[in-house]
Amino acid sequence: MEIVLVLLILTAAIVLFATEWLRMDLVALLVLLALAITGLVTTEQAFAGFSNPAVVTVAAMFVLSAGISHTGAMGHIGERMVAFAGNSESRLLLISMLVASLFSAFINNIGATAVLMPVLMSVARRLRISASQLLMPLAFASLLGGVCTLIGTPPNILMNTLLYEYTGESFSMFSYTPVGLVIVATGIGYMLLLGRRLIPERKSGALTEAYQVKEYITEVAVLEGSPLAGKTIAKCAFEQNFGLKVRAILRERHKIPMPRRNRVIREKDTLFLEGDPAGILKIRAVKGLEVLPEKDNPVDKLADESMVVVEASLTPTSTMAGKTLRSVRFRDIFGISVLAIWRQGAPVVKKVDHVVLRFGDVLLLQGSEERIIQLGRDQGFLLLGGVPAVDYRPRQAPLAVTILLLVIGNSALGLIPIFLSAPLGAVAMILTRCLSLKDAYDNIDWPILMLIAGTLPLGLALENSGAALMIAKWLTSVVGDFGPWMVLAMVVLITALLTEFMSHAAAAVLVAPIAYELAQSMAVSPKPFFMAVALSASSCFMTPISHQSNALVMGPGGYHFFDYTRVGAPLGLLVWCVIILLVPVIFPF
């Protein structure tokens, strides 16, 4: 009966993770409560995940990464290294992926991506190439580099903790490095030779150098007495004069989608116009029309030269996610207008102040340079060019790097285990004012911690109920005759598939007890299985929802969902081959 209950909860969790009907951290909490209520784990075991060393270490690494990024240490290094690429797109791709891989080996993947995104977008504008050619490789490189060290990604930390709990053994700081370096080299080689040719070039006509090559939708009101009232869409010549298309008309609360060119425009109509930022700015000067975000939230009477229009992407730590601009009184509080919103490769056809914001959304902002920079600092917005990069605490940059190196060195030499050295480093970042206590809390990805803490009891329930052993016996009966190498290949494949539709950390936690039982049933070392699970859990290239780095570049790059599948599936297959070929050689069965 216990096995049936555990498998039902496991199946429900996987379905909820994959469909995203509920937030993943909420699903993890429901799993935790279900396990405790059904008696599959004790109350103490259900909540033990919150004090698990892996959870504490992951939280500490978020703080360490924030300390590095807030001082500007990584940004300056990245700018100098990318500058070596010159005007060669191939060299730029190579260097940017190498830099991202290096950074993500020691700070979290999303941090490495966020640090380098504005740099690459600025270079793309200078070279007049599409940012889409650089941003997906950047996200993939952050995932590839994360597998190179113990602290590079949460699955590595988790599998090290679980290995110690099961066997008393553990991985060192650089145990992952030999296989990780081969994975990085394979990934970069693939992107240079084939992957970049599979990436679509997202361009939408001529655009000024100041803005990204993508189209937005903004709302424009037809004022009373407008010279355009009574004319057809064709005669208004929006497309010829401004490069804007009328996607919809809102007339007396009735929306007319995709109106024909002979549709007559009337006074008090609201037009949803699609086009690039340059066209949106030009339409503001037309007599008888008014951009609605400006009408609803009048822009301060500032000199033209002090006003800027900037694209900004929502990061995972943004407090705006899940809220509308109206509910947070965005313009009243921040003094910035949102002209339009871009989401998952397409503009949003909806009143901007009614849109529920999501992680990865790109907002077209208009306001003073000072206020926009402040917004990026305080509210979790990644500014994608248009304003100068401002470091939080540049004088502390050498100190922040020293603290990170001490954490790595102590762990690598075995002087202090990573479960202690990482929290010590996080505290040191705050005490030395590399970042404030508020910044530290704001930059911890709390949903990830909740997810890990909530799924750890499920892994325990799989082990204690015998469900993991049952699944292991079934897998052994199917491929066990081919030896542990083939069984390892199956474990890697299962983990890699799970991680495309749910959190990589959750996938690692769920597969770990099955991997352990497989090793026990074949009387082989569990170490290669745990290493393989950690590496494959971070190999999430095929969907934008599989990792936050993928989601972060989706809006700025103008990618569609299946762009990731086309480019990422061959890369995932190559990484799978590297793992199953090299892991048993470095960590024998």
Interval 437-455: pLDDT, tens: 888 888 888 888 988 998 9
Predicted confidence at residue 97, as pLDDT, reads 93
Q: Stretch 134-138: mean pLDDT, rounded?
A: 92
Predicted confidence at residue 260, as pLDDT, reads 87
- Superfamily of 213-296 according to CATH: Regulator of K+ conductance, C-terminal domain (3.30.70.1450)
pTM for the whole structure? 0.77
Q: Which two tokens stand for residue 306?
A: 């002090």
Predicted confidence at residue 345, as pLDDT, reads 65
Contact 321, 286 (CB under 8 A): no
Burial 64-92 (b: 16+ CB within 10 A, else e): bbbbbbbbbbbbbbbbebbeebeeeeeeb
Nearest to 49 by CA among 14, 19, 66, 25: 25
Top pLDDT among 308 and 568 is at 568
Q: Stretch 409-438: mean pLDDT, rounded?
A: 90
Top pLDDT among 285 and 232 is at 232
**Maximal CA-CA distance, the chain:** 85
Top pLDDT among 220 and 217 is at 220
Predicted confidence at residue 518, as pLDDT, reads 92
DSSP bridge pairs for 291: 220
Q: What is the band of 89 on the pLDDT scale with cuts at 50, 70, 90? A: confident
- Mean pLDDT value across the chain: 84
E-strand stretches of 321-477: 337-343, 346-347, 362-368, 381-383
Predicted confidence at residue 214, as pLDDT, reads 52
pLDDT at 14 over 60: yes
Which residues lie below 8 Å from residue 457, measured CB to CB, with a gap of 6+? Answer: 31, 32, 35, 36, 41, 45, 46, 48, 49
Contact 505, 452 (CB under 8 A): yes
Predicted confidence at residue 300, as pLDDT, reads 47
| Residue carrying the six token digits 């102590």 | 410
**How many Å separate Cα 585 from the centre of its chain?**
32
User: Cα-flanking dihedrals φ and ψ of residue 37, to 5°?
Assistant: -65, -40
Question: What span, in angstroms and rounded, lies between the C-alpha atoms of 536 and 540?
Answer: 8
Q: What is the pLDDT of residues 181-201, one digit of tens each?
A: 999 999 999 999 999 999 987
Please list the helix, strand and coil fractions of the chain in percent, rounded to the nearest 5, in that order.
60, 10, 30
Predicted confidence at residue 389, as pLDDT, reads 55
Q: How would you class 395 by CB atoms within 10 Å of its CB: exposed for 0-12, middle for 13-18, buried for 19 or more?
A: exposed
Question: What span, in angstroms and rounded, lies between the C-alpha atoms of 539 and 442?
Answer: 27
Give the least confident one: 156-160, 316-320, 385-389: 385-389
- Superfamily of 302-383 according to CATH: Regulator of K+ conductance, C-terminal domain (3.30.70.1450)
Question: What is the CB-side half-sphere exposure of residue 159 using CA atoms within 13 A?
Answer: 38
Rounded alpha-carbon distances, angstroms, from residue 539 to 46, 53, 194, 536, 550 = 29, 24, 18, 5, 12
User: Cα-flanking dihedrals φ and ψ of residue 153, to 5°?
Assistant: -155, 150
Predicted confidence at residue 299, as pLDDT, reads 47
Torsion of CA 386, 217, 557, 116, to 10 degrees: 30
pLDDT at 177 over 80: yes
Predicted confidence at residue 321, as pLDDT, reads 80
pLDDT at 517 over 50: yes
CB atoms within 10 A of CB 224: 9
Q: What is the band of 391 on the pLDDT scale with cuts at 50, 70, 90? A: low
Q: What is the pLDDT of residues 32-53, one digit of tens each?
A: 999 999 999 999 999 988 988 9
Question: What span, in angstroms and rounded, lies between the C-alpha atoms of 23 and 249?
Answer: 34
Question: What is the CB-side half-sphere exposure of residue 470 using CA atoms within 13 A?
Answer: 11
Question: What span, in angstroms and rounded, lies between the C-alpha atoms of 309 and 318?
Answer: 20
Taken as a whole, the chain contains a residue count of 589
CATH 3.30.70.1450 maps onto the chain at 213-296, 302-383
Question: What span, in angstroms and rounded, lies between the C-alpha atoms of 120 and 108?
Answer: 19
The top-scoring range by mean pLDDT among 80-89, 93-102, 271-280, 557-566 is 93-102
Contact 116, 138 (CB under 8 A): yes
Q: Which two tokens stand for residue 482?
A: 């081919």
| Residue carrying the six token digits 């600092």 | 377
Predicted confidence at residue 202, as pLDDT, reads 63
Q: Which two tokens stand for residue 150?
A: 């113990």
pLDDT at 580 over 90: yes
pLDDT at 145 over 90: yes
Give the least confident one: 34-43, 212-221, 320-329, 375-384: 212-221
Q: Classify residue 86 by its DSSP letter.
A: T
Predicted confidence at residue 102, as pLDDT, reads 92
Q: What is the pLDDT of residues 278-310, one digit of tens each?
A: 777 677 677 688 877 655 545 444 444 456 778
pLDDT at 134 over 70: yes
Nearest to 110 by CA among 380, 386, 425: 380
Q: What is the pLDDT of residues 496-515, one digit of tens each?
A: 988 887 788 888 999 999 99
Q: Which two tokens stand for residue 30?
A: 């429901």
Predicted confidence at residue 205, as pLDDT, reads 30
| Residue carrying the six token digits 């996938």 | 507
Q: What is the pLDDT of residues 313-352, one digit of tens each?
A: 887 777 788 888 888 888 878 888 887 787 766 777 677 7
Nearest to 317 by CA among 111, 23, 546, 157: 111
Q: What is the band of 25 on the pLDDT scale with cuts at 50, 70, 90? A: confident
Contact 441, 72 (CB under 8 A): no
Question: What is the CB-side half-sphere exposure of residue 575 using CA atoms within 13 A?
Answer: 34
Question: What span, in angstroms and rounded, lies between the C-alpha atoms of 511 and 124?
Answer: 40
| Residue carrying the six token digits 């969907």 | 543
Question: What span, in angstroms and rounded, lies between the C-alpha atoms of 159 and 322?
Answer: 32
Q: Stretch 518-541: mean pLDDT, rounded?
A: 93
Predicted confidence at residue 209, as pLDDT, reads 36
Q: Which amino acid is at 565?
A: T
Question: What span, in angstroms and rounded, lies between the C-alpha atoms of 219 and 225?
Answer: 18
Give the whole-number percent of the chain exceeding pLDDT 70: 90
Predicted confidence at residue 212, as pLDDT, reads 43
Q: Stretch 399-413: mean pLDDT, rounded?
A: 90
Predicted confidence at residue 33, as pLDDT, reads 93
Q: Which two tokens stand for residue 572?
A: 């995932």
Question: What span, in angstroms and rounded, lies between the C-alpha atoms of 537 and 539?
Answer: 6
pLDDT at 412 over 90: no
Give the least confident one: 273-282, 368-377, 480-489: 273-282
For residue 89, give the 3-state DSSP assignment.
helix
| Residue carrying the six token digits 């207008």 | 337
Q: What is the pLDDT of residues 162-176, one digit of tens each?
A: 999 999 999 999 999
Q: Stretch 48-62: mean pLDDT, rounded?
A: 90
